[in-house]
Amino acid sequence: MKILGIESSCDDTSAAVVCDSSIIEERILSNIISSQIDIHKEYGGVVPEYAARNHMYSIEECINKALNKANININDIDAIAATSGPGLIGGLLVGTVTAKTIAIMANKPFIAINHLEGHLLTARLCNRIDFPFLLILASGGHFIFAEILDINQYNILGQTIDDSAGECLDKVAKMLGLPYPGGPAIEKLSEQGDSNRFKFPMPLLRRKGCDVSFSGLKTAARLLIEKLEEKDKADMAASFQMAIIKAIINKAKKAVDMCIQNINSIVLAGGVAANKLLRLNVEQLAYDNKVKFYAPPITLCSDNAAMIAWAAIERIHKYGYYSSPITQITRPRWNIDNIM
Ligand SMILES: Nc1ncnc2c1ncn2[C@@H]1O[C@H](COP(=O)(O)OP(=O)(O)OP(=O)(O)O)[C@@H](O)[C@H]1O
Ligand SMILES: [Mg+2]
């Protein structure tokens, strides 16, 4: 089975061809990503209108390149999957309308995929991971702890009550005068800094459950940055990165305890999962709990269409046959416990 995947929910236009080979290394036949970072960098964040327009300009070329690299034409594809939410509505419409049009023209099924389901199943594209597992999803727009019981059985244990970790890293990076996207910039600068230099509060310390909050850390960072000298920036970046990681690990410990079933592993996913220190800390948490640790390779942590095509494959495997109505709506907000 070969699926054409399309991703356009934020600032990456991507098209991929993925197959369901039992040999993991042979699954991704192509994964073309056209990043808009250079366009949005000037504004310090994603400008939705520019993002939508640029998806429109590059989507056709991405799809053609993905098919060419996979060395197949559209007739060899079994279904076309596209991110249908959550995300920026303009970009989502470009991707879904394109996918639906190709599906109609080529007489193939259309499959609407939840972007977060794409992130959460990426680790299974690259590893053999059994259910159930604890998911830590840390991306640009979301932060979720969930017990993943099976495909489409996602039990949310906790989530952020305000900003996501990625958003917080991006905003603090901007305050530090670092380029967009902020997460990788903070990680790089942290390498030269002392993570013990600045102290941050531990969010929601006394609250039961595993909801998290990152906005207080952002405010604490702003107050420190107002008085910061240039020479202290690396220490600030390292201390802030460590504060975010401690906030995640503190609540992740509770999330492990909240799982109803005996989990086999802890899976870290989403753009922030590219952070090496966070990966190390989650790996340690998994080790302490005698379960395995998985995260996608760094190149597949941020947005890409291979994860969308793979989520479609997982759904087809689970349900035997799976497709979405061509009238399926596009959803800017769409959590993983309500996919259908
Ligand atoms: N090495 C890194 N360390 C920390 N954060 C990182 C790193 N690399 C990327 N990020 C962060 O990951 C985020 C982007 O992740 P992703 O592409 O999954 O987000 P998104 O698609 O915009 O949001 P969502 O998936 O919630 O819709 C950004 O906030 C970025 O700063
Ligand atoms: Mg994403």
pLDDT in tens, 298-333: 999 999 999 999 999 999 999 999 999 999 999 999
If you ran DSSP here, which 8-state letter would residue 142 be given? -
* 89 and 191 co-located in one domain: no
* 186 and 92 co-located in one domain: no
Which residue's alpha carbon is nearest to atom 19 within ligand 1? 140
Which residue's alpha carbon is nearest to atom 12 within ligand 1? 271
Q: Is 249 part of any domain?
A: yes
The tally of domains found in the chain comes to 2
**Which mutation among 7, 8, 9, 10 tests ligand 1's pocket best, with the greatest number of atoms within 8 A of CB?**
10
pLDDT value at 58 more than 90: yes
pLDDT value at 171 more than 90: yes
CA–CA distance, 69 with 5 (Å, rounded to integer): 14
Structure tokens at 141: 């727009």
* 139 and 255 co-located in one domain: yes
Q: Is 281 part of any domain?
A: yes
**Which mutation among 88, 119, 302 tests ligand 1's pocket best, with the greatest number of atoms within 8 A of CB?**
302
Mean pLDDT of 71-92: 98
CATH number at residue 234: 3.30.420.40
* 59 and 151 co-located in one domain: no
Q: Is 126 part of any domain?
A: no
Mean pLDDT of 224-232: 97
Q: What integer pLDDT is reported at residue 69 of this predicted model?
A: 98
Ligand 2 (single-atom ion) residues, CB below 5 Å: 139, 303
Which residue's alpha carbon is nearest to atom 27 within ligand 1? 141
The CB density around residue 149, as the number of other CB atoms within 10 Å, is: 16
Q: How confident is the model at residue 140 (pLDDT cuts 50, 70, 90)?
A: very high
Q: Is 327 part of any domain?
A: yes
> At 85, is the secondary structure helix, strand, or coil?
strand
* 81 and 135 co-located in one domain: no
Domain range enclosing 285: 131-297
Q: What integer pLDDT is reported at residue 195 of this predicted model?
A: 98
* 307 and 291 co-located in one domain: no
Distances (CA, A) of 112 to 83, 84, 312, 322, 324: 6, 5, 8, 10, 6
* 40 and 162 co-located in one domain: no
* 112 and 149 co-located in one domain: no
* 205 and 164 co-located in one domain: yes
Q: How confident is the model at residue 340 (pLDDT cuts 50, 70, 90)?
A: confident
Mean pLDDT of 18-34: 98
Contact 56, 8 (CB under 8 A): no
* 55 and 174 co-located in one domain: no
% of the chain exceeding 90 in pLDDT = 98
Q: Is 125 part of any domain?
A: no
DSSP characters for 235-289? HHHHHHHHHHHHHHHHHHHHHHHH-SS--SEEEEESGGGG-HHHHHHHHHHHHHT
Mean pLDDT of 101-106: 98
